[in-house]
Structure 1
Amino acid sequence: MTPVSLGLDFGTESVRAVLIDAGGAELGVGTSAYRHGQITKTLPQGGDPLPAEYALQHPEDWIESAAQATRHALSQAKIKADAVVGIGVDFTSCTMLPTKSDGTPLCLLESFQGVPLAWPKLWKHHGALSQTERMNELARQRGESFLDRYGGIIGLEWFFPKMLETIELSPEVAAAAEVWLEAGDWFVWRLVGCEAEVLPRSTCQAGYKALWSAEDGYASEAYLDAVHPELGRAARTKMPGRLLSPGETAGTLTAEMADRFGLTPGIAVSAATIDAHAAVPGVGAAEPGTLVMVLGTSSCHMLNSGSGHPVPGVAGIVRGGILPGMYGYETGQAAVGDAFAWLLRLLNLKSFHELTDRAMSLPPGADGVMCLDWMNGCRTPLMDGSLRGAFTGLTLAHDGAHLYRALLEASGFGLRWIVDVLRDGGVAVDRFVATGGLPHHNPAVVQVYADVLGETIEIHPSEQGPAVGAAVLGMVAAGAQRSGFADVTEASTAMAAIPHEHRQFVFPNPDHQTQYDGLYRQYRVLADVMSQGRS
C-alpha cells in the first residue's frame, strides 16, 4: 500500500486538509471554515465591542474544522484510514494563547470567557503596539544581539509583545496562565496528548516569532526581566516543552483524536511549521535562491540561502528555519488579499471580474493614481504595524478600476522593495514561484508582479502549496521505514516538484519595464514621506 500523508493547513478563515501519496498524487482535499471566523467585533457570548486593533479566534474551531476537513478529504480520496502514515501541520503565526497545564485554553474556563485577552490572539492582532515599541527601544539600548536576526526590529505581531500585552492589560489572565504557546504547537499538543513538560514546540515558530535561535535559545533572561519582571518569569516558568524542527516526530495520534478525525491511532505527527513556510517544501523548491511567494490574505515570501547574515528590514533569518542545512529568510506584506477584499467592499462589488478587465486595460501608473497598500501596516522592510495606507493623484475622472490598478501596482512595488532589500544585502534571488489561492483566482496580481519586477514568475499548479508542504513534513515524520524518505528535501522533490515542461510561467511585458522603473521610484518617495510623517 502506497504511504499517504495528511497535511493540515490552518489559515485565517479556515483549515484545509489534503491527502498526498509518496508519488505526489493529490488524493483528496477538504476545507472547513471556522464557525466563529475572526473574532473582531465582540466575543462569542457578546459583551462590549472589541478594540479596533483586536483579532482573536476560538480554539475549538481549530479542532472542529480540522476534523471536518479531514473526514471530507478521506471520503473524497476513497482510501482506508490506515493508509495514512503521517500528519503535518502548518499554522498562522504568531497566533498564540494562554492555557492551563493540561492544555485547556483559559478562554474556555467560565471565569475567563468574557476577558478578551484570555482568547487566542490571531497573527493580525495589533493590540501590543506600545509594548512592541518599548521592547524595541530597550533592545536597541542594550544592544541585544538577537536584533541582527530580525532586521533590527521586533515585530508587532510576535510572541513576546502579545504576552506582555496580556501581562500589562489583563494581569489576572497572565497570573492564571500556566503555559504560553503558539496555536500550531497547541494543536499538535492536542493531537499527541503528552505532558506539558514535553509538549512539542516548533523551532520554525520560535525562531521567526519568539526571538529564539539554536545557538542562543530565547532572548536573554536579563533583557526580558528588564522589559517587565513578569515577562521574564513567564518565559522561565510558563514555556515548557521541547523544541523540534518541522518534520521531526512530535509524537503519535491519540485514540481520542483519531476517532474524532476518522483516522487510525498511532500515526506519526510532525512538529508544526508556519503556514507560509510550509509552501517551500510544498512547491518542491529545495534549492537556494528561489523566492517562494505565498499569496493570500497577506503574503509571505521565503527564500533559502547557503549563508546567513544580517539584512536590515528582513524580519527573520533562521538557520534551518525553513529547510535543514540552509538559512531561511522570511519577508512579507501585511495586506494583500485583505486589501483587495477591502476595496471590493468599498466599491460595493461582489467580484473583480469586470473591474479586472478594465483595470488591466489601463496603462501602467493607473492614469496618475498611486497607492500605498499599508492598510494593515508594513511588514517588510519597515516592520511597522502603525503605518497607514493611501491613494494619491485622484481626480473626479478616476473610478474603481483606477483604484484597483493602483492597488495591484502598490502590492507589486512592495514586493520589488523586498527583492531589492535582499539583493542589496548580498542574498541571491534567482527564481520566483507563486503559490496559494490568489495566483489561481486572480492572475492579474501575478502579471502585475512580473511587470513590476521585470522577472518571470512560475505559478505552481497546486492551490494547496502550504497544505502539500505540511503533508511532506508529515511523511518525513513517519520515518524512512514507513514513508521511504530520508529527509525533507527528498520527500519534497518526490511529492511536490513539477517537471519543467509542465510548469506555468507568467512573463513580464517588456514594454512596461521602463515605465515601472520610474513609477517604482515614485512609490519609494511616497513611502518615505508617509512613513516619516506618521503620527
Structure 2
Amino acid sequence: MTKVRDDRATTEVTLGVDIGTSSTKAVLVDAAGEIVGQAVAEHRVDRPEPTWAEMDGRTWWREFVDLTGELLAAHPEAAVIAVGVSGMGPCVLLADDRDQPVRPAILYGVDMRATAQIEELTTELGEDMVTAIGGSRLTTQAVGPKLRWVAEHEPEAYAAARRLFMPASFLARHLTGEYVLDHHSASQSTPLYDVERRRWHEPWWERIAPGIERPRLVYPKDVVGAVAAEAAAETGLPAGIPVISGTIDAWTEGISAGAVRPGDLLLMYGTTMFLVATDIRTMRHPSMWTTVGAFPETMCLAGGLATSGAVTDWLRRLTGADFPTLLSEAEASGPGARGLLMLPYFAGERTPILDPDARGVIAGLTLDHGRGDLYRAALEATAFGVRDNVDAMREAGAEITRIVAVGGGTQGRLWLQTVSDVTGLTQHVPRLTIGASYGAAYLARRAVIGDFPIEDWNDTAIVIEPNTATRVGHDANFARYRALYAATRDIQHALARGKHATV
C-alpha cells in the first residue's frame, strides 16, 4: 500500500527513471520514501523482421525529458536533488562520435537475429572459454554476437559507430557527458567482460568490437557526474545535481525490494517469471546467467520461466471465468489439484532445461475435473518450475534462504502460498512494488546522504511461510513433474516440429 503524502512532507526529492520494454516510468520520491509523483510514457518495440526486436534509442532521452518536465510541472514544490536511471538490458545501441545512434537499438534476449553469429563465436572462442571468462554461454541475450551481426549485415552503420550504450548509460551520457557502463550491465555483455576480474576482456573486445570505445566501468550506485548545463536547460532539472550510473531494470527492481543480500532470491511474478539469486561467490550453471551483482561485493545467478501468468491468463480466456472465480475454485480444489499434474512449457522453456521445443502437458485428466482443478494445476506447475530453478541454483552453490517476491502476481495469496509450499522457502513481499524507477530513486538518495537500508523506505508487508503439512505431497508431485518431462520430451519435440502421425 502506497503511503499517503501529507502537506508537511519535504520538498526535497530524488528522480528515478526506468526505460522498460513497453514504457518509460518516472517517479519522484521524498526523503521518507513516499511517492510524490509518477508519470508513464508508453512506447512500442519495432519488429521489422519476425525474430527482431529493436527500438529507436532517441526515444529514451526524449521520454526522459518529457516525463521529467511533466513531473516538475505537476509538482512545483518538489526540489530534485539527485537523479537515478535504469533500463532494460542487455541492449546494443551503437552511436557515433556525437552520441547519435547509427541504427535502432537491438534489444535483449527477445531479439534472436544473431543465431548464426552465436554459433560462429562459440566455435571461434570455445564454449568452455566463453563461460569461464564471460560467465555464461552465448545466447540471444549476449551482446557480442549482435555486434558482429551489425558489422556483417550493416557495415556502414558499424563503421560510423564509436560508442556502445544501454538505456541507463545513454541517459547518463546525455545528463552528464560521461561515457560509462555499470559492472552488472557489462557482465551481461557476453563475451566482452571478464566476470572474475571485473574488467573488459580486451582481446575479445578488439576481436568483436573493433573501433568501439570501451566505456568506463562503474557500479550502479556510483555517482558518474552532475547534470550539465545543457541537460538542465532541456529537462528543467537543476544543473550540478548528482546522477548515478544505474543498471538493468530487473536488478534495480531487486534493489527496490531489498533482494540484494547473500541468500536472497528475487522472484518476479508476471506473464513470465524471472529469478535472481545473490551470493558473495561466483555461481555457475550451464543453463543460467552468471553476472556481477548490483553491489560490488555480490555475484548473481539468474534464470527464468518462459510462462507463468501467461498460462493462468490462457485458462481465464479459455474458460471465460474471471480470476476471482478461478482462484476460489482452485482454493477448493486443494493441494495436488485432485490428481492433475501440468508442465507449464506452453511457450517452450528457458531455465533450467533450455528447451524451446518443450510444450505444455496436462496429465491425469478425468471427466470429474473442472476449471478450478486446471487452475490449481497451473499454479502448482509454475511453483514446480521455480523449485526446478532453485535446485539448479543450489547445485551451482547458491545458498538460498528466502524469496523476495515482486510483480503483479504477488496480489494473489494462493499463488504465493503455493510457491512457498512447493519450495519450502519463506517469501517476503515488500509494501511497495513500484519497480525499477523506485529503486533508481533510492540509489540517487543514497548518493546524496550515504548508505541506508531500503527497508527504511520499503519494508516487508506480507510474509508467506511454507505449510509443512503439504510438503510430502508436493515432493512426490515434483518428482513426477520432472519424470513427466523426461518421459514426454521426444513427443513434445515431434509435435512442436509438426511431425504428426498420420492415420
Please indicate the TM-score interval, normalised by the length of the shorter structure: 0.7 to 0.9
Structure 2 letter corresponding to 1:306 = I
Q: 1:206 aligns with which of 149, 167, 186?
A: 186
Counterpart of 2:389 in structure 1 is 418
CA offset at residue 351 of structure 1? 5.5
Query: Is the Cα contact below 8 Å between 1:22 and 1:494 reproduced in 2?
Result: no
Distance 1:513 1:353 in 2: 26
Pick closer, same or farther for the CA change 1:257–1:376 going to 2, 3 Å: farther
Q: Does 1:185 align with 2:172?
A: no
Q: 1:137 to 1:255 in 2, by over 3 A?
A: same
Match of 1:57 in 2: 55
Q: Which residue of 1 aligns with 2:97?
A: 101
Partner SS state of residue 97, structure 2: coil
Is the CA contact (8 Å cut-off) linking 1:32 and 1:66 kept in structure 2? no
The answer (yes or no) to whether the contact 1:148–1:310 under 8 Å persists in 2 is no
- Paired residues of 1:286 and 1:492 also in contact (CA < 8 A): no
> Do structure 1's residue 427 and structure 2's residue 398 form an aligned pair?
yes
Q: Deviations over 1:199-222 (max 9, x none)?
A: 11121111134331361634462x
2:138 is matched with 154
Change (3 A) 1:106 1:270: same
**Pairing partner for 1:471 from 415, 418, 441:** 441
Structure 1 residues 236-261: Cα deviation after superposition (integer angstroms, max 9, x where no partner): 32143211110112222244444554
Change (3 A) 1:338 1:160: farther
Q: Give the structure-2-normalised TM-score.
A: 0.83
Q: Secondary structure at the match of 1:187?
A: helix
**Correspondence 1:436-451 to 2 at 5 A:** 436-440=407-411, 442-451=412-421
Give the whole-Å Cα distance in 2 for the aligned partners of 1:457 and 1:267. Answer: 37
Q: CA deviation at 1:368?
A: 5.2
**2-structure distance, mates of 1:387, 1:464:** 34
Paired position in structure 2 for 1:524: 482
| Alpha carbons of structure 1 residues 522 and 248: separation in structure 2 relative to 1, 3 Å | same
The corresponding residue for 1:217 is 199
Residue 459 in structure 1 maps to residue 429 in structure 2: yes
| Cα deviation 1:169-223 (Å, max 9, x = unaligned) | 444443443333323322322232x2xxx511121111134331361634462xx
SS in 2 for 1:251: strand
Taking the TM superposition and a 5 Å limit, the aligned residue runs for 1:288-367 are 288-318=262-292, 321-338=293-310, 340-341=312-313, 347=318, 352-367=323-338
Report the secondary structure of 2:94's partner residue. Answer: strand
CA offsets, 1:279-317, max 9 Å, x none? Answer: 232123453212122333443322332333434433114
Q: Secondary structure at the match of 2:54?
A: coil
| 2:112 aligned partner, one-letter code | H
Question: Matched residue of 1:276: which SS?
Answer: helix
Once the two structures are superposed, the pairs formed by residues 271-286 of structure 1 within 5 Å of their partners are: 271-286=245-260
Distance 1:245 1:76, change over 3 A: same
Which residue type is aligned with residue 92 of structure 2? M
* Match of residue 484 from structure 1: 449
Q: Partner residue of 2:150?
A: 166
CA deviation vs aligned residue, 1:319-358 (integer Å, no higher than 9, x gap): xx222223333333344445555665x6386963433333
Amino acid at match of 2:64: A
Mapped contact 1:3–1:22 kept (Cα < 8 A): yes
Conservation of the 8 A alpha-carbon contact between 1:359 and 1:402: yes
1: CA distance, partners of 2:133 / 2:488: 26
Paired residue type of 2:410: P
Residues 401 and 425, structure 2, Cα contact 8 Å, conserved in 1: no
- CA root-mean-square deviation: 3.3
Instruction: Provide the TM-score with structure 1 as the length reference.
Output: 0.79
Q: Secondary structure at the match of 2:390?
A: helix
Question: Residues 116-137 of structure 1: CA distance to partner in whole angstroms, max 9, x if unpaired?
Answer: xx44335422222333244334
SS state at 2:400 partner: coil
From 238, 242, 249, the counterpart of 2:216: 242
What is the SS of the residue equivalent to 1:12? Answer: coil
Q: Are the aligned partners of 1:204 and 1:322 in contact in 2 as well (CA < 8 Å)?
A: yes
Amino acid at match of 1:430: T
Alpha carbons of structure 1 residues 77 and 153: separation in structure 2 relative to 1, 3 Å: same
Is 1:86 the counterpart of 2:82 in the alignment? yes
Q: Is the 8 A contact 1:313 1:380 kept in 2?
A: yes
1:515 aligns with 2:473: yes
Instruction: State which of 91, 106, 110 in structure 2 corresponds to 1:120.
Output: 106
| 1:265 and 2:250 are equivalent in the alignment | no
- Say yes or no: does 1:38 pair with 2:9: no
The runs of 5 or more residues in structure 1 that have no matched partner are: 44-49, 108-117, 225-230, 478-482
In 2, distance between residues paired with 1:62 and 1:337?
A: 28
Determine which of 344, 349, 374 is the counterpart of 1:378: 349
Distance in 1, matches of 2:395 and 2:83, equals 39
> Aligned equivalents of 2:488 and 2:171: distance in 1?
40
* Structure 2: unaligned runs, 5 residues or longer: 1-9, 498-503
SS in 1 for 2:463: strand
Matched, 1:28 2:37: yes
Report how far residue 412 of structure 1 moved: 1.5
Partner of 1:112: none
Contact 2:60 2:167 in 1 (8 A): no
Task: Show CA shifts across 1:430-479 (max 9, x none).
Answer: 11111233313x444323212221322111110214222211222234xx
Q: CA 1:393–1:338 in 2, change beyond 3 Å: closer, same or farther?
A: closer
Q: How many residues align?
A: 481
Relative to 1, partners in 2 of residues 1:171 and 1:87: Cα closer, same or farther, differing over 3 Å?
same
Q: Aligned partners of 1:148 and 1:339: how far apart in 2?
A: 37
- Name the CA distance, whole Å, in 2 between partners of 1:54 and 1:340: 27
| Paired residues of 2:219 and 2:245 also in contact (CA < 8 A) | yes
Q: In the alignment, residue 516 of structure 1 is paired with which amino acid?
A: H
Mapped contact 1:437–1:464 kept (Cα < 8 A): no
**Distance in 1 separating the partners of 2:295 and 2:363:** 44
Q: Percent identity?
A: 26
In structure 2, distance between residues paired with 1:439 and 1:188: 32
Q: Which moved more, 1:521-530 or 1:445-454?
A: 521-530
CA contact (8 A) 2:144 2:208 kept: no
SS in 2 for 1:514: helix
Call closer, same or farther: CA 1:145–1:234 in 2, change over 3 Å.
Answer: closer
